[in-house]
A and B are shown apart, each in its own frame.
Chain A
Amino acid sequence: GAGVSQTPSNKVTEKGKYVELRCDPISGHTALYWYRQSLGQGPEFLIYFQGTGAADDSGLPNDRFFAVRPEGSVSTLKIQRTERGDSAVYLCASSLTSYSGELFFGEGSRLTVL
């Protein structure tokens, strides 16, 4: 399809394990974002890429979280030593420009840490 694609759609892991979540943005969109949504809350900003570089990573909660976008297209969010509090839906979004705030979101990856 032509939308933002995220895999896996669901991930269940044990506390302490390492997790990778993948995002394939809309073709041609240079801006890519990761957000996290906990139950009953709105999406919370994690990181923004413009091309290959992380232009704003101020939302990453701690150094267990890391994201890459090596070729300016697909991005991977990496979480080390997962904790139960990391359980949430991780949303990826992309946009043509970063100015308008009109983002195209994927369906999200639901992470459950047991």
Chain B
Amino acid sequence: DQQVKQNSPSLSVQEGRISILNCDYTNSMFDYFLWYKKYPAEGPTFLISISSIKDKNEDGRFTVFLNKSAKHLSLHIVPSQPGDSAVYFCAAKGSSNTGKLIFGQGTTLQVKP
């Protein structure tokens, strides 16, 4: 039972263009959503998050959008840079105070120069 799904295993975009990574979830009790970025041979690093009471959060080139009715969130990267090439994981957290995250399968982003 995959509660958090990233249906696109990979995405390739040209440098300077927009990258859009998508994530769907099934559990309406999730109240916090996060994106992590992972380079090869490194652990995931936190990128950006959004609370379920918001529909948008922006941090520099990164914006996360949340559509609660559709149980869908997306990460927009504008403009994309070659250094953004990595695996991106969507994660969701329930309201319990344990910090337990449910991760999606990841999307590999390649930004071509």
Closest 6 CB pairs of A and B: A105-B43, A42-B103, A98-B99, A101-B93, A56-B98, A102-B46
B101 at the interface (CB under 8 A from A): yes
Rounded to whole Å, the gap between the CB of A51 and the closest CB of chain B is: 13
A24 at the interface (CB under 8 A from B): no
Total interface residues in chain A, CB < 8 Å: 30
Interface code B69-108, partner A: CB below 8 Å = 1, 0 otherwise? 0000000000000000000010101000111111111100
B62 at the interface (CB under 8 A from A): no
What residues of chain B have their CB less than 8 Å away from a CB belonging to chain A?
Answer: 4, 6, 9, 32, 34, 41-46, 49, 89, 91, 93, 97-106
A65 at the interface (CB under 8 A from B): no
Q: Is there an interface contact between B89 and A103, defined as CB atoms closer than 8 Å? A: no
Q: Can you give 15 A-B contacts (C-beta < 8 A)? A: A33-B99, A40-B106, A41-B105, A42-B103, A42-B106, A43-B101, A48-B98, A59-B100, A91-B43, A99-B97, A100-B49, A101-B32, A104-B46, A106-B43, A107-B41
Interface code A78-114, partner B: CB below 8 Å = 1, 0 otherwise? 0000000000000101010111111111111000000
- Our count of residue pairs bridging A and B at CB distance below 8 angstroms stands at 70
Q: Is there an interface contact between B102 and A45, defined as CB atoms closer than 8 Å? A: yes
What residues of chain A have their CB less than 8 Å away from a CB belonging to chain B?
Answer: 4, 31, 33, 35, 40-45, 48, 55-56, 58-59, 91, 93, 95, 97-108
> Nearest residue in A to B34 (C-beta to C-beta)?
A101
Q: Which residues of A contact B105 (CB under 8 A)?
A: 40-42
| CB within 8 Å for A107 and B91 given contacts A45-B102, A48-B99, A55-B98 | no
For chain A, what secondary structure do more than half of its interface residues adopt (helix, strand, loop), or is it mixed?
loop
In the complex, A82 Cα to B34 Cα: how many Å?
A: 33
From B32, B42, B46, A103 is in contact (CB under 8 Å) with: B46
In the complex, A102 Cα to B91 Cα: how many Å?
A: 10
In the complex, A41 Cα to B44 Cα: how many Å?
A: 13
> Nearest residue in B to A55 (C-beta to C-beta)?
B98
